[in-house]
Amino acid sequence: MPNLILLHGALGHSDIFKPYLNVLSSYFTVHTPLFSGHGDLELPEGGLNIKKYVEELSEYCKVNHLTDVSIFGHSMGGYVALCYAMENPDNVNSVITLGTKFDWTEEQALKESKMLNPDVILEKIPQYAQLLESQHGTKWKQLLPGIADLMIDLGKNPPLENNFATITTPVQIMVGDKDNMVTLEESSRVYRSLPNAKLAVLPDTKHPIDKVRPDLLLNLIKDFWNLS
């Protein structure tokens, strides 16, 4: 069976893909790796950045002898997937991104990163703090500033910017029409910049993947990959 890699977003977890595994495993051998710092994986000593996560994906493919992979990436996972496809075009069959932010500037990154203060989250959104602790253990408080640093690094040096035209892999860019982190405009701009892309807008859909209707997402996935 062909290999499918599902990549979670920043502060996410591979558990988010559970509602999809039954259906997808009828068509693919499904892989759900975790990025370092997430789940029970330690934070790397050199800090977090997109380049590090692309290297981790590359290493995962090498260790598991995965070639000609299809990749689905949610949020940051989609950014990592496209970076990997750009660097390893012969190894990637196709990519689907959902809710991936592409417009990274230093100003934007600073704004986003300020929302990742553990004390503020504990005080204002305690249920989110509980979720983070259940997924990542007590180190969630260190993971937040790590992801903030990743965003700031991305704002200073977004590796995909000006390079979309070089990615010839078939890609489907997907975004929810109620995503408050990713705009339809940036998704549409990237779709137009990619030589071999489709665009899908999910109605009445917010950013978190647990707010996406599985049937809707699965239908779009099946359509793109011609799964009957």
pLDDT at 111: 83
| Torsion sign across C-alpha atoms 53, 24, 16, 106 | positive
82 close to 161: Cβ distance less than 8 angstroms? no
CB count, 10 Å around CB of 45?
5
pTM of the entire predicted model: 0.97
Q: What is the pLDDT of residues 205-222, one digit of tens each?
A: 999 999 999 999 999 999
pLDDT digits (tens, 9 = 90+) for 17-35: 999 999 999 999 999 999 9
> Rounded to an integer, what distance in angstroms lies between the CA atom of residue 109 and that of residue 153?
8
Give the model confidence (pLDDT) of 106-165 as tens digits: 888 888 888 889 999 999 999 999 999 999 999 999 999 999 999 999 999 999 999 999
CB 164 within 8 A of CB 193: yes
| φ, ψ at 226 (rounded to 5°) | 50, 45
Percent share of the chain, pLDDT over 90: 94
